[in-house]
């Protein structure tokens, strides 16, 4: 059986499962919205077994032959029972200092069990550390933007000035997106102005600045077990998308075309992905006006449909066939 760990609304998972249905492949889809209400871990006679109770049924991990970690996480739902005389502060202390560590140990054990099965993706590397990825990219021989993380305005101002006042700001880890009181908030990469620096406090939460690189075009490549599926994104001439193509222009979309990366860049990216212990992920690159390739980031669970559909790569079909071959 194939285990798919994902999210309820993930469109790519839906498309892959349709292909699995077509090939009559047996699979179990576990969404982060699904509650694990019971579990049984048994150790006996030098072997162990793990069973999870989900959606009124038991999932036996010994029946799982391979795993596709797409997105999401295991969601345990266990009630705590306290006596009537238990104080609220005691209950909070138990919850934050004991229960968290207990569930983390169980979750880490589940990750270990699943990691030992053939897989696409990994729960362990679901959030690739973006700062560490810059280190590994350099070690693999890839160019990266000159960058600084600092919590002091003086340091950022010096970096900003030395960069010709042409810098961008982005999240140290992820793009923020959330809803509060019926309002939607998000940010992607944005260009920094001199007044932004001047308006900062002397100290603040650690922030990431990078030199802004004038680009010829961007490249998004989907990596799957040693194969690259790449797309050039001509975002540089649109004021809305020139800094970050994710600031999509719905009225006038960027031109996207299939793209073949140079062999030496693919080789360096392969070394990089191996260093990050990733066998799949979406990689973002910039091609400069002098045809240099600059690594930006990798997202282990990034959207690949945006590459597959315009370029006719049929990645949902390829992922389904690959999972079937792993069984």
Question: What are φ and ψ of residue 220, in 5° steps?
Answer: -110, 125
Q: Write the DSSP string, 223-269.
A: EETTEEEEEEEE-TT-TTTSS-TTS--SSSPPEEEEE---HHHHHHH
**Where does the pLDDT of residue 189 fall: very low under 50, low under 70, confident under 90, or very high at 90 and above?**
confident
Q: How far apart (Å, rounded) are the C-alpha atoms in residues 129 and 25? A: 34
- Predicted pLDDT of residue 237: 65
- Predicted pLDDT of residue 78: 76
- Predicted pLDDT of residue 217: 92
Q: What is the pLDDT of residues 299-318, one digit of tens each?
A: 999 889 999 999 999 999 99
CB atoms within 10 A of CB 256: 20
* DSSP, res 63: G
* DSSP, res 77: -
Q: What is the pLDDT of residues 99-122, one digit of tens each?
A: 778 888 888 898 888 888 999 998
Mean pLDDT value of segment 5-32 = 95
Q: How far apart (Å, rounded) are the C-alpha atoms in residues 321 and 223? A: 16
- Contact status, residue 67 vs residue 114, Cβ threshold 8 Å: yes
- Contact status, residue 122 vs residue 11, Cβ threshold 8 Å: no
- Predicted pLDDT of residue 261: 97
- Contact status, residue 32 vs residue 75, Cβ threshold 8 Å: yes
In this predicted structure, the answer to whether residue 221 has a pLDDT above a threshold of 60 is yes
Complete domains list, the chain, with CATH: 2-120 (no CATH), 127-143+214-300 (3.30.470.20), 146-212 (no CATH)
Instruction: Tell me the two tokens of residue 159.
Output: 């970096």
Task: Select the more confidently predicted residue: 4 or 250.
Answer: 4
Q: How far apart (Å, rounded) are the C-alpha atoms in residues 277 and 298? A: 12
Instruction: Tell me the two tokens of residue 241.
Output: 């998308």
Residue ranges of E strands in the chain? 2-6, 27-31, 36-44, 47-54, 57-60, 66-69, 119-120, 147-152, 167-170, 177-180, 183-186, 190-192, 203-211, 215-224, 227-234, 255-259, 280-288, 293-299
- Predicted pLDDT of residue 176: 59
- Predicted pLDDT of residue 252: 61
Mean pLDDT value of segment 189-212 = 86
Q: What is the pLDDT of residues 241-286, one digit of tens each?
A: 455 555 554 566 667 899 999 999 999 999 999 999 999 999 999 9
Q: Of 83-92, 102-111, 188-197, which range is least confident?
A: 83-92
Residue 113: burial class (beta carbons within 10 Å; 0-12, 13-18, 19+): middle
In this predicted structure, the answer to whether residue 13 has a pLDDT above a threshold of 90 is yes
Tell whether pTM > 0.75. yes
Q: Coil, strand, or helix at residue 125?
A: coil
């Amino acid at each position: 059986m194939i285990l798919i760990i994902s999210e309820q609304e993930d469109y790519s998972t839906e498309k892959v499962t349709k292909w699995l249905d077509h090939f009559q492949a047996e699979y179990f889809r576990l969404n982060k919205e699904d509650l694990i209400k019971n579990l049984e871990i048994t150790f006996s006679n030098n072997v162990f077994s793990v069973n999870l109770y989900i959606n009124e049924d038991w999932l036996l991990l010994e029946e799982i032959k391979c795993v596709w970690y797409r997105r999401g996480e295991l969601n345990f739902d266990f009630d705590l029972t306290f006596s009537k005389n238990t104080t609220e502060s005691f209950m909070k202390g138990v919850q934050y200092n004991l229960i968290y560590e207990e569930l983390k140990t169980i979750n880490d054990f589940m990750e270990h069990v699943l990691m030992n099965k053939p897989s696409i993706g990994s729960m362990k590397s679901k959030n690739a550390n973006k700062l560490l990825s810059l280190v590994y990219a350099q070690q693999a021989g890839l160019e990266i933007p000159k960058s600084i993380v600092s919590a002091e305005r003086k340091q950022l101002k010096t970096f900003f000035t030395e960069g010709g006042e042409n810098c961008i700001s982005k999240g140290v880890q992820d793009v923020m997106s959330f809803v509060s009181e019926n309002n939607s908030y998000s940010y992607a990469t944005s260009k920094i102005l001199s007044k932004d620096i001047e308006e900062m406090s002397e100290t603040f939460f650690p922030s990431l600045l990078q030199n802004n690189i004038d680009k010829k075009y961007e490249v998004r490549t989907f990596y799957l077990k040693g194969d690259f599926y790449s797309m050039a994104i001509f975002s540089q001439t649109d004021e809305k998308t020139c800094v970050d193509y994710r600031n999509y222009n719905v009225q006038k979309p960027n031109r996207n075309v299939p793209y073949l990366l140079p062999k030496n860049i693919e080789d360096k990216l392969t070394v990089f992905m191996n260093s990050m212990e990733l066998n799949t992920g979406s990689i973002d690159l910039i091609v400069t006006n002098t045809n240099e390739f600059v690594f930006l980031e990798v997202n282990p669970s990034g959207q690949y449909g945006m590459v597959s559909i315009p370029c006719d790569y049929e990645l949902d079909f390829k992922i389904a066939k690959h999972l079937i071959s792993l069984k």
